[in-house]
Amino acid sequence: MMFRRMVVLFMLALILALTTGLGSTAQDLTIAVPTDPDSFDPTRAVAAASWEIAFNVYEGLVRTLPSGELTGGLAYNWNVDETGTVYTFHLREAYFHTGERVTPEDVVHALNRIRDPEVSEARAGDFSVIESVEAAEDQIIVSLSRPHGPFLFTLAGMPGAIYPRGAENQASQPIGTGPYRFVEWRPNQHIRLERFDQHWSDSEPFFTTVEFRIMPDDSSAVLNLKTGHIDVIPRLEAALLHQVENEPGLNVHRAPMNLVQILAINHQREPFNDPLVRQAAAHAIDKDEIIFGAAWGEGQPLVTGLSPAMAVFHNDEITDYAYDPERSRQLLAEAGVSSPSVTLDLPAPYAIHVQAGEIVAEQLGTVGFDVALQIVEWGTWLERVYSQRDYDMTIVGLAGRLDPHEVLVRYESSSSRNFFNFQNPEYDALIAEGQTASHDERIAVYNRAQEILTEDVAGIFLMDPSQLAVMQSAIKGWESYPIYVVDAARLYR
């Protein structure tokens, strides 16, 4: 009898140990991403890869839903006065990952830093419309110099993130209020997050630990997915889709990426300071060939700087520069340019841009351009191409935004994000007008702005690739956003 009881107790203990082990394993999530963030400091980060991860760590006064609509973040409610220039945000009770309560002073501090050009050279321009930020008990009062339609959408991005007043080293050790807290960043290896149990929301994320594993090699990421070492690849290169699409135990989710893949042109560099040369380059590009060759057909051709994913504001009536190599050669002759030599810089971590660049180089070569390809590391691209504007041509994906102003302001002549060096006075005036116009007026304004981008060849707009998110079939709750983020808190197993 004693022996039988011991056997039963042993079996119960074994079952408990096994089920406990399974439970803990089920609460770990591993996500493969191709590159490290450039920074977690909201005042300095410019790479989309930063917000992709930081979306889980930081929150602003408002936040984004998968639909692209806005909802309350650290502010549970807000109202705007009759002039459209004074916003009053009502703060909820929330806590930083340090356990300290969020105060109005913390919010004022963060918003004042992001609008200070000496602190945030890259982002201050987006917040220049703010005249003052004040705290009044549990309220934040933001006064604008003029009505600004995109203001709330600007607050919903990483630059609007709130962090403690005394926080140091936010670039590599971020402190926020989101559903996950930052634990560790080992460059070129991983970023590790843990569930934050003091989050203000009523819903608790399923996964205790989320690891964003840096895997620049897509083939390696797919192999790790198949062997169960990776749970999710948020953005699979289309060239590898055939390896996972019909694989048992894996699911693929397709959605518009709301991303503009652009062949960017430096307008201050010869020969592209001549509009005839830019037009020649535009006529040399076969976008369908690029979509097939670089994205295996998983993309939509673009004619302007706004993706059709932003359906309300996208101009469907624009006439694009048709693929016409002969016309391209004629334009080069009219410009008096023979065999123009240019360098095409391509960012190494992004295969779709590198592959598109290889096709573009061939297409430009057939009409007389002498194109030298140069593959550069992502940090180098951000510093030299984006920040210093030291390049001839490049291909990159411009991440989508929630409001058209946040996309189209990139080409405004004084914008810090205008690494194209594009200048057009009419365009600048339209961008200013669109910020204060009514909804219907904004549609007309942005339609004309898009026409100018295409007519003047601000860049050569290639495609909006499909977002191909592939994951273990046991992973549920995936939501695609119109911006470049991974919402780990929605996922469960």
pLDDT at 2 over 60: no
Q: Give the mean pLDDT of 284-309.
A: 95
Report the half-sphere exposure of 139 (CA within 13 A, side-chain side): 11
Return d(Cα 404, Cα 96) in angstroms, integer.
Answer: 32
237 SS3 class: coil
Average per-residue pLDDT for the chain:
93
Q: What distance lies between CA 105 and its chain's CA centroid?
A: 29
Residue 272 pLDDT: 98
Strand-strand pairing, 393-399 and 341-347: parallel
pLDDT at 103 over 60: yes
H helix or E strand, kind and range, residue 406: helix 404-408
pLDDT at 170 over 90: yes
pLDDT at 99 over 80: yes
Which of 3.40.50.10380, 3.30.460.80, 3.10.105.10, 3.30.565.10 would CATH assign to domain 259-466?
Answer: 3.10.105.10
Residue 4 pLDDT: 52
CATH tag, 29-35+172-256+467-490: 3.40.190.10
pLDDT tier at 399, thresholds 50, 70, 90: confident
Neighbouring CB atoms inside 10 A of 41's CB total 22
What's this model's pTM, rounded to 2 decimal places?
0.77
Residue 327 pLDDT: 98
pLDDT tier at 152, thresholds 50, 70, 90: very high
Return d(Cα 346, Cα 371) in angstroms, integer.
Answer: 12
Return d(Cα 446, Cα 271) in angstroms, integer.
Answer: 29
Q: Which amino acid is at 23?
A: G
24 SS3 class: helix
pLDDT at 11 over 90: no
Tokens of 251: 């699911």
Query: pLDDT tens for residues 207-238?
Result: 999 999 999 999 999 999 999 999 999 999 88
List the one residue out of 395, 123, 133 whose CA is nearest residue 259. Answer: 395
Return d(Cα 162, Cα 175) in angstroms, integer.
Answer: 9
Q: Which amino acid is at 43?
A: T
pLDDT at 347 over 50: yes
Q: Would you list the domain boundaries of the chain?
A: 29-35+172-256+467-490, 62-160, 259-466
| CB-based burial, 208-225: b 16+ in 10 Å, e otherwise | bebbbbbbbebeebbebb
Return d(Cα 349, Cα 36) in angstroms, integer.
Answer: 10
pLDDT tier at 9, thresholds 50, 70, 90: very low
List the one residue out of 202, 163, 204 whose CA is nearest residue 180. Answer: 204
Return d(Cα 54, Cα 479) in angstroms, integer.
Answer: 17
Spell out the residues 6+ positions from residue 254 whose beta carbon is closer than 8 angstroms to its own. 298, 466, 467, 468
Return d(Cα 385, Cα 377) in angstroms, integer.
Answer: 11
Please provide the DSSP assignment of 292-339 as one string. HHHHTT-EEE-SSSS-TTSTTT--TTPPP----HHHHHHHHHHTT--S
CATH class given for the domain over 62-160: alpha beta
Q: Which amino acid is at 320?
A: D
H helix or E strand, kind and range, residue 469: strand 459-472
Neighbouring CB atoms inside 10 A of 361's CB total 18
pLDDT at 13 over 50: no
**Cα 399 to Cα 52, 259, 464, distances in angstroms:** 11, 5, 10
pLDDT tier at 422, thresholds 50, 70, 90: very high
Query: pLDDT tens for residues 256-295?
Result: 899 999 999 999 999 999 999 999 999 999 999 999 999 9
pLDDT at 323 over 90: yes
Residue 68 pLDDT: 85
pLDDT at 18 over 70: no
* Surface-to-core class of residue 93, CB atoms within 10 Å of its CB (0-12 exposed, 13-18 middle, 19+ buried): exposed
Q: Which residue has the higher pLDDT, 8 or 374?
A: 374
